[in-house]
Structure 1
Amino acid sequence: MSSFASFQDFYPYYLNEHRDRRCRRLHFIGSTLVLLIVLFALFSGRLVWLWLAPVAGYGFAWIGHFAFEKNRPATFRHPLYSLIGDWVMYWEVLRGKVKI
């Protein structure tokens, strides 16, 4: 599927691209690091640290895709929906709806 009418249509595809638990774990670690980096940068006033946020987030996620899922990250084809999907999946992991 190359295009989606809405994020609601995209999200099942997104979850299917994250079937491997190790990939989901790496996504969760990367997203947690993004939150910690942003909080640190804001509360310390050292905004230069913000450059690390995308490195941590995408770095861990892409390792999960290339090493475990053996697929190409959805970010390359659907960047906005993929970014939203990362945070929806993160929240669903916290709520116990997606297992890591």
Structure 2
Amino acid sequence: MSQNYKSFAEFYPFYLSEHSDKTCRRLHFIGSCFVLAVLAWVFTTQQWTGLIALPFIGYGFAWIGHFFFEKNKPATFTYPLYSFWGDWVMFKDILTGKIKF
């Protein structure tokens, strides 16, 4: 049974525990980098159909990390908004060195 988190601050430690495998974290990070690159490309070229690729890129890398390396179910299935937010906070934490890449 899933827990009911009252805040993102309460959820984030759980989110991190679901990303203990470094390959999974790296795949999340790489997927997020590609998402940002595609967003930059879309806005630069105004090729708006490129936005369709974003969920496949972002979630594709993340889910490969979960299913093949972390061997757990992505938190997105249970906590979609907190999980989306958690991915970007983890991305920032990796960039700033707070979480090991």
- After TM superposition, the score normalised by the length of structure 1 is 0.98
Q: How do 1:16-95 and structure 2 match up within 5 A?
A: 16-95=17-96
* Letter paired with 2:67: F
Write the distance in 1 (CA, Å) between the matches of 2:45 and 2:94. 28
**1:24-58 alpha-carbon deviations (Å, 9 max, x no partner):** 00000000000001110011010111111111000
Write the distance in 2 (CA, Å) between the matches of 1:2 and 1:9. 11
Structure 1 runs of 4+ with >4 Å offset: none
Question: Where does structure 2 lack aligned partners over 5 or more consecutive residues?
Answer: none
TM-superposed CA distance for 1:3, in Å, is: 1.1
Question: Where does structure 1 lack aligned partners over 5 or more consecutive residues?
Answer: none
- After TM superposition, the score normalised by the length of structure 2 is 0.97
* SS state at 1:96 partner: coil
* SS state at 1:97 partner: coil
Q: How many residues align?
A: 100
Query: Which residue number corresponds to residue 10 of structure 1?
Result: 11
Identity between Structure 1 and Structure 2 (%): 54
